[in-house]
């Protein structure tokens, strides 16, 4: 069945709300406004204000309240409108949600799901264009997911809610209108990366909003006689090293594509794992295509220049191929 990423998220949320009375959705403008990306439009009428809970502008407060509610037996889905505002809530995520189980010697788990939009591409400028997946992927005690397909948008929520620990879900803002197949039957796996295109010459390893660009680059490369494999990480913490290494062992070449700023990017971690685990399989140094290290400019042509693009991926892939 063809559907959109947004519709897939909606279907997953509705199902979760219908199936488990402990589930509720809380965040800024999830209710009366209908969700800032229209993901929860109509839910207020369907599930009522207790379960579709509009929160005041208090990111630290309502994320912390989500943690408390999870401890108290509920299964909250907290929507932090965008990753940009999640900076205000990081203390609760790092110092409470992710540490609580360990600090309590295993007594308290925090079955919390946090959803947030991330990424650039809509000319929203420096404060509204962050990709900070790499920061979250650094924190022990949580899991981090990045659905990049309609299927994952549909299937990742249920296992995230079933997970006893905090799960952060990044929805790239450029994907909401993505159309694709969703033959949803069961929840998808949330432990492994997935090969989205098989190839033999070079591995393009990516996630989230960069997946469509990597796939587009692979098509362009095919036209140049280069057969690229595209690996969608899907799960950013814990990273699925095995799948990464398996692909690189096959292709012997890797380009990591990541919308985060280059220095200290998640791409660096992927490269580190590749050299740690598959150094002698490499025919060329792994390369990366990341965002330029500049706060995101507003002007469209500058934003485009700052972000990873298919053309840059093609160039990087050709370079590692020595072409």
Partner 1 sequence: MNASAVPYDKPFALRLLKDMLRIRRMEEEAAELYGAGKIRGFLHLYIGEEAVAVGALHALQPDDAIVATYREHGHALVRGVSMNAIMAEMFGKQEGCSRGRGGSMHLFDAATRFYGGNAIVGGGLPLAVGLALADQLSPEGISYGAQHRRRVTACFFGDGAVAEGAFHESMNLAALWRLPVLFCCENNLYAMGTSLARSESQTDLCAKAAAYKVETLKVDGMDVVAVHDATRIGIAHVRDKGGPFFIEFQTFRFRAHSMYDPELYRDKAEVEAWKQRGPLHSYSARLKAQGMLTEDEFLACDAEAQAEVDASIAYAEAGAWEPVEDLMRDVLTPVGGTTS
* Residue positions annotated with a catalytic role: 59, 128
Residue nearer to ligand TPP on the CB measure, 87 or 315: 87
**Residue bearing tokens 């913490």:** 237
List C-alpha distances in Å: 33 to 28, 29, 30.
9, 5, 6
Q: Quote the CA–CA distance of 18 and 46 in Å, as a whole number.
A: 10
Residues that bind a second copy (CB under 8 A): 60, 84-85, 87-88, 90-91, 94-95, 98-99, 102-103, 125-127, 130, 134-135, 137-141, 237-239, 260-261, 263-269, 271-272, 275-276, 279-280, 282, 284-288, 293-295, 297
How many angstroms separate the first and last alpha carbons of the chain? 40
Q: How many CB atoms lie within 10 A of CB 294?
A: 12
**Identity of the residue, 137 or 214, whose beta carbon is nearer to a second copy in the bound complex:** 137
What residues are paired with 179 via a beta bridge?
Answer: 4
Distance, CA of 242 to CA of 247 (rounded, Å)? 9
- Beta carbons of 290 and 267 less than 8 angstroms apart: yes
- 81 belongs to the binding site for ligand TPP (CB under 6 A): yes
Minimum distance from residue 185 beta carbon to ligand TPP (Å): 36
- Residue 126 or 224: the one with the smaller Cβ distance to partner 1 is 126
Instruction: Assess 126 for contact with ligand TPP (CB under 6 A).
Output: no
Does position 85 interact with ligand TPP (CB under 6 A)? The reply is: yes
Shortest CA distance to 176 belongs to which of 1, 9, 2?
A: 9
Q: How far apart are CA 323 and CA 319, in angstroms?
A: 6
- The least distance separating partner 1 from the CB of residue 198, rounded to whole angstroms, comes to 30
Residue 117 beta carbon to ligand TPP: minimum distance, rounded to whole angstroms: 11
Among 1, 2, 105, 223, binds partner 1 (CB under 8 A): 105
Q: Does 79 bind ligand TPP (CB under 6 A)?
A: no
């Amino acid at each position: 069945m063809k559907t959109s990423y947004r519709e897939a998220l909606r279907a997953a949320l509705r199902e979760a709300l219908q199936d488990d009375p402990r589930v509720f959705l809380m965040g800024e403008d999830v209710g009366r406004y209908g969700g800032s990306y229209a993901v929860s439009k109509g839910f207020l009428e369907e599930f009522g204000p207790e379960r579709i809970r509009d929160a005041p502008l208090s990111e630290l407060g309502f994320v912390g309240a989500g943690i408390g509610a999870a401890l108290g037996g509920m299964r909250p889905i907290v929507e932090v409108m965008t990753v940009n505002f999640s900076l205000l809530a990081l203390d609760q995520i790092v110092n409470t949600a992710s540490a609580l189980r360990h600090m309590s010697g295993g007594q308290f788990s925090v079955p919390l799901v946090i959803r947030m939009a991330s990424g650039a591409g809509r000319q929203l400028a420096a404060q509204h264009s962050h990709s900070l997946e790499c920061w979250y992927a650094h924190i022990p005690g949580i899991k981090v997911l990045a659905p990049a397909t309609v299927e994952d948008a549909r299937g990742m929520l249920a296992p995230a809610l079933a997970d006893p620990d905090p799960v952060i879900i990044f929805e790239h803002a450029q994907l909401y209108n993505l159309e694709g197949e969703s033959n949803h039957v069961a929840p998808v796996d949330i432990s492994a990366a997935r090969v989205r295109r098989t190839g033999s010459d070079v591995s393009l390893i990516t996630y989230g909003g960069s997946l469509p660009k990597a796939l587009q680059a692979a098509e362009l490369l095919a036209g140049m006689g280069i057969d690229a494999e595209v690996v969608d990480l899907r799960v950013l913490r814990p990273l699925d090293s095995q799948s990464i290494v398996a692909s690189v062992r096959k292709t012997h070449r890797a380009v990591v594509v990541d919308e985060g700023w280059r220095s200290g990017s998640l791409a660096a971690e992927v490269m580190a794992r590749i050299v740690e685990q598959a150094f002698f399989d490499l025919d060329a140094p792994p390369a990366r295509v990341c965002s330029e290290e500049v706060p995101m400019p507003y002007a469209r042509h500058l934003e485009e220049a700052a972000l990873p693009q298919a053309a840059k991926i093609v160039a990087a892939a050709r370079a590692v191929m020595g072409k």
